[in-house]
Amino acid sequence: MSLTVVGSVAFDSLETPFGKREKVLGGAATHFSLSAGFFTNVNAVGIVGNDFGKDEWAAFERHNINTEDIEIVEDGKTFFWKGKYEYDMNTAHTLDTQLNVFETFDPKLSDNSKDSRLLFLANIVPMIQKGVREQSNAEFVAMDTMNFWIDSMKDAVIDTINVVDCVIINDAEARQIANEPNVIKAARTILDLGPRAVVIKRGEYGAALFTDNTYFAIPAYPLESVFDPTGAGDTFAGGFMGYLASESVIDEDAMRRAMIFGSVMASFNVEKFGTERVDELSHDEINSRFTDFKRFTHFEEIPFERAQSV
């Protein structure tokens, strides 16, 4: 029942048509672990500077995230990202990126983190992802990546895909990795690289799970307004992996429920800025949207039989 995540811990400055926030808690490992923390014990592995303050650590503490493996660089500054969204919230416009201490990130897992049953490699340099995977004794390892690495070092991305159990990416990334416009074919191509599961995130259109013999797809939770999509993908991955960590067997049935919990967590994440909404979530709210998903997707299976007379 434990899960380790390796990735960025950051400050984000965010602007959407609905408002702005300066230097709020962000980063892939942050969004992931706050989400996963609702389902299991989480170890976060990352790096921050001495500007990372009491309020930021308190968010991890509220969710019982183990931060022992978050390195503090005493004379460094925390990774900073500034982004803006127009009404089309599918595209983030980066206004500023300051890697700061993240540039020297060389994750060393403690024994506790090494022995987690599950491991998530958030979006970082693929060689570092692979190095972390090699340090870990996890039974189930998933990874994310992004267009920047696929553009600049696709072979390294594929080397990492070769050694994980699950890839969790968006549809554009899947198309780019497989060099294939059809997302169904692209997912199958990535499966052929070794993982037992490929999860494709499609934002407002939902998500799909591909395994060797099966296909599972769900719509997104129907939201009348999206406030800030920052971290939605990592929050999805956190719900997905966190739920799986709570299951004794990671099989198709468990992964299908994990897809729903991932979507539920992402649906909350986008309702407020940064980590605000997930930070205040309750288990009842999570289970209520899980039940909604069943209601939104259920139909009675009655094949059509045409009467002879019509």
57 contacts: CB under 8 Å, gap ≥ 6: 67
Instruction: Out of 106, 111, 294, 308, name the contact with a copy of itself by CB under 8 A.
Output: 294
Closest by CA position to 144, among listed 170, 162, 163: 170
Judged by CB under 8 A, does residue 308 bind a copy of itself?
A: no
Find out whether 122 and 235 touch, Cβ atoms under 8 Å: no
Judged by CB under 8 A, does residue 18 bind a copy of itself?
A: no
261 contacts: CB under 8 Å, gap ≥ 6: 39, 239, 240, 242, 243, 286, 290
Instruction: Out of 75, 111, 306, 308, name the contact with a copy of itself by CB under 8 A.
Output: 306
Residue (6 or 36) nearer to a copy of itself, CB = 36
Distance CA 77, CA 29 (A): 17
Least separation in angstroms between CB 100 and a copy of itself: 34
Distance CA 34, CA 49 (A): 20
Instruction: Kindly state the tokens that stand for 93.
Output: 């416009």
Least separation in angstroms between CB 299 and a copy of itself: 4
Residue (50 or 214) nearer to a copy of itself, CB = 214
Stretch that binds a copy of itself, among 7-15, 22-30, 113-121, 296-304 (CB under 8 A): 296-304
Judged by CB under 8 A, does residue 227 bind a copy of itself?
A: no
In degrees, to the nearest 5, what angle opens at C-alpha 71 toward C-alphas 65 and 75?
Answer: 135
Least separation in angstroms between CB 45 and a copy of itself: 19
Distance CA 274, CA 14 (A): 8
| Per-residue mark of binding to a copy of itself, 260-279 (x: CB under 8 A) | xx------------------
In Å, how far are 18, 190, 193, 287 from 121, measured between CA atoms?
Answer: 31, 17, 17, 26
Residue (24 or 260) nearer to a copy of itself, CB = 260
Judged by CB under 8 A, does residue 87 bind a copy of itself?
A: yes
Distance CA 244, CA 249 (A): 8
The answer to whether the Cα torsion of 67, 70, 73, 79 is positive or negative is: negative
Least separation in angstroms between CB 28 and a copy of itself: 23
83 contacts: CB under 8 Å, gap ≥ 6: 12, 13, 14, 15, 92, 93, 94, 95, 230
| Per-residue mark of binding to a copy of itself, 172-201 (x: CB under 8 A) | ---------xxxxx--x-------------
Least separation in angstroms between CB 176 and a copy of itself: 15
Residue (148 or 215) nearer to a copy of itself, CB = 215
DSSP strand pairing (70-73 vs 79-85): unpaired
Find out whether 1 and 245 touch, Cβ atoms under 8 Å: yes
Least separation in angstroms between CB 9 and a copy of itself: 23
Residue (151 or 251) nearer to a copy of itself, CB = 251
Least separation in angstroms between CB 178 and a copy of itself: 12
Instruction: Out of 91, 214, 251, 280, name the contact with a copy of itself by CB under 8 A.
Output: 214
Distance CA 91, CA 151 (A): 18
Q: Which residues form the interface with a copy of itself (CB under 8 A)?
A: 1, 38-41, 87-88, 181-185, 188, 202, 204-206, 208, 214-219, 222-226, 243, 246, 253, 256-257, 259-261, 283, 286-287, 290-291, 294-304, 306-307, 310
